Amino acid sequence: MNKSNEINEILEKFNANRASWEDFSKFIEFDFDNLERFFEITQKVKLENFNNELKIYVPGERFPAISITGNECELHCEHCDGKYLKGMISIRDNKKLEKFLINHNKNGGVGILISGGCLSDGSVPIFNYLETIKKIKKRTNLIINAHTGLLNKETAKKLIEAKVDIISFDVNLDSEIIRNIYHLKKELEDYKKAIDLLRSYNLNIVPHVCIGLYYGNLHKELDSIKFIKESGLHPSLIVFIALIPPNKNEFKTPTSLDISKIIGITRIIFPKTEISLGCMRPRKKFREQIELNSFKAGINRIEMPSAKTLQKIKKIYPEIKFKYFSACCALPIKHESLAKTNKSEIKRYMRI
Ligand code: SF4
């Protein structure tokens, strides 16, 4: 069968919802100049299951990120090497954390992302802060999103006791990435165990999948999607982020077509699950292309899109409604009323 017949056949299977994992894998291998026919299918699936709207998240000061390790991280991952920690507020003791959160609540804060660097075992040392979070959750409505990394039973138990709202967990089923990018001496089994543990405590896990982490190329992202599907997780939301290449020769920027292939396949596999394009992604010259193609591929949430992207989306899909929230893009639906962005903030964001 020639290439174009093969593509037609696979797209037909996507459309009829009878594609196999092998079909998805083959589709990823094909080189495309554009994905418009694929996007017609992913848009159809999205509109069958969601309102014609895009939820836009602008965390800003109302949902800041806190690093409980300051700029320190023991892993020195190839793509990060601590650079993302520098953009977070460093808070390294419980008293300061409590004071910060009480003030944050008084000043109209919506919540926080509690994050930090990892220890050499791949965990974020969050356990010692969870008693403070527990107190704060009793006294305020602040929404807590935690990066835990790999974790043990004690931490999982404490996360549920502290009523942490969201666990943002990087799902990665690629042993080469674990070894060569994360510099972690861990196995795929360790990731599977961590997710099982979180699931056994009924925590709200929001899987984050990083596209192109393997030097900017697609490599086993589909394994992560398959794992999420078969693990019994049933997440209400999956967040996609994409590699921002570090300044090293062997890395490149993942293409918008590669990113939207993975997002679109996920839309077909998880028709009723919300999908977000999260905060870590290339923002410079490929920004609008990535954002627009991700929209066409079926996201219904996005963190901080450019105003130009929103204008383009409106032009192509004039019926679309935009809804704005001052929060992380993993905000649970039940808390949306706490995080609505007011009109003047929206205008400022859109530079209207
Ligand atoms: S991807 Fe979304 S949920 Fe995850 S840290 Fe970024 S804004 Fe928050």
Annotated domain spans of the chain: 19-350
Separation of 239 CA from ligand 1 center, angstroms?
7
**pLDDT tens column, 30-65:** 999 899 999 999 999 999 999 999 999 999 999 999
Q: Could you please report the per-residue DSSP string of 187-235?
A: -HHHHHHHHHHHHHTT--EEEEEEETTBTTB--SHHHHHHHHHHTT---
**pLDDT tens column, 219-229:** 999 999 999 99
Return the ligand 1 atom nearest residue 329 CA.
2
| Residue 323: φ, ψ to 5° | -125, 135
Return the ligand 1 atom nearest residue 303 CA.
7
Between CA 131 and CA 148 the distance in angstroms is 15
Separation of 168 CA from ligand 1 center, angstroms?
8
Task: Give, using CA atoms, the residue closest to atom 1 of ligand 1.
Answer: 278
Separation of 18 CA from ligand 1 center, angstroms?
32
Q: Please state the CATH superfamily assignment of the domain spanning residues 19-350 in this structure.
A: Aldolase class I (3.20.20.70)
- In the structure, what pLDDT confidence band is assigned to residue 194 with cuts at 50, 70 and 90? very high
Separation of 57 CA from ligand 1 center, angstroms?
9
pLDDT exceeds cutoff 70 at 76: yes
| Structure tokens given for 33 | 């100049």
| Residue 172: φ, ψ to 5° | -145, 115
Between CA 265 and CA 222 the distance in angstroms is 9
Angle at 37 between CA 36 and CA 43, to 5 degrees: 80
Rg of the chain over Cα atoms, rounded to whole angstroms, equals 20
Total residue length of the chain:
352
Between CA 257 and CA 280 the distance in angstroms is 17
Task: Please list every protein residue whose CB sits less than 6 Å from any atom of ligand 1.
Answer: 59, 113, 145, 168, 208, 239, 241, 278-279, 303, 328-330
- Its pTM surpasses 0.95: yes
Residue 284: burial class (beta carbons within 10 Å; 0-12, 13-18, 19+): exposed
